[in-house]
Structure 1
Amino acid sequence: MVFIKILGILDLLAAAIIMLEGYTQLPIRLTLIAAAYLILKWTLFWKNITSIIDALLGVLALLLWLFNWPILAMAAGIHLALKGAISLL
């Protein structure tokens, strides 16, 4: 139960990083941490479809550091934020 809430909080932080990365250039270390978290979470729960989406969002976070896609970043951030908020309930 506590583990799920911790993952929810980390999802909310990753969502904020991805949304901000779509509009501004954040430090690469911050983006790498968020991307690594999402990809590592996929390796823990690889049978779940939402974890596959997490891995894709981790790759997207890395691509957002190179390219500026604000609408895609906002959609990805909203997905992660909703998932994080639901896990906190």
Structure 2
Amino acid sequence: MWYAGEVTTFVEKRRMHGLTGVKSKEVLIWVSLSEIVVSPSGTKIVFCSPAGLSRAFPVIASQLNPPPPAEKKEETAATANGSEESNR
């Protein structure tokens, strides 16, 4: 990502539009961004260019402190233990 000295946008719930001063590199080309939208489910974030190009990423990729992966392993282990007990 590249940010200009001044970045402007209009902010709404789950949406930033009229974005200026932000660019993203796609392959070898810098593309200006015009809009950033979070999906209604809150799992994806979509970056849009004025040309109509867009790219979606998981929201967790943009979080500063994502949940540790150990929590998922503990949940999986608990589920596996529960299914083993029901098989007995």
TM-score normalised by the chain length of structure 1: 0.24
Higher Rg of the two aligned structures: 2
Higher helix share: 1
* Greater percentage in strand: 2
- Give the TM-score taking structure 2 as reference length: 0.24
